[in-house]
Homo-oligomer: A and B are copies of this chain.
Amino acid sequence: MNFSSKLIEKAVDAFATLPGIGRKTALRLVLHLLRQDIRFTEQFSAALVNMRANIRNCSLCHNLADAEQCQICSDPRRDHSLICVVEGVRDLMAIEDTGQYRGLYHVLGGVISPIDGIGPADLNIDSLLQRIDQGTIREIIMAISPTIEGETTVFYISKKIQPNGPQLSTIARGVAFGGDLEYADEITLGRSIVARMPYSAK
């Protein structure tokens, strides 16, 4: 594309470095900025720079935080004896959005994957074990993707937790609500037959 302006070209290039944004979309965004007041662009940029400069990782659960501890860890109304272990902050946000969970979290920062060179030492596993060692945790819920790497990670952590430690559980696996049975994959369907639950009319 030909912009006949270095300023426009640099701004388009900036947007186009973001994932999922091509140069045509980038140009549309730049022209949108041009139609707005200059303060719009200033506030937009300030929000990003301010976020990037001041965001931290929660010292307890490694969630994104504005302060030393994240809003969840510092909330006294939440159940501090429950930890839900997730791969990343997007999984944490997805669980928060369900409104079904009122305990704390622990963000691993990935899963064990030898093929990608990610071992247990690259993840926030030691800090999880330290939290467990303090003796106030009643249950650890593993909310990890059911992949080979995910299962490996769950297995590794389960072996690290002392037998007299907290209860270890995983989120329920099965056919999704509202999903058609015939479209469920074979492994999910097979396992949900094996792991069938007693029916109780509500």
Contacts and interface: CB of A to CB of B under 8 A. Distances in A.
Contact of A5 (B10, B52, B55): B55
B41 A11 contact: no
Q: How many copies does the complex hold?
A: 2
- Give the interface size bracket for A toward B: 35 or more
A52 B25 contact: no
A66 interface: yes
Contact of A3 (B3, B11, B93): B93
A66 B18 contact: no
Contact of A97 (B1, B29, B30): B1
A4 B2 CA distance: 42
7 contacts: A1-B93, A4-B63, A5-B66, A17-B44, A30-B48, A33-B48, A41-B51
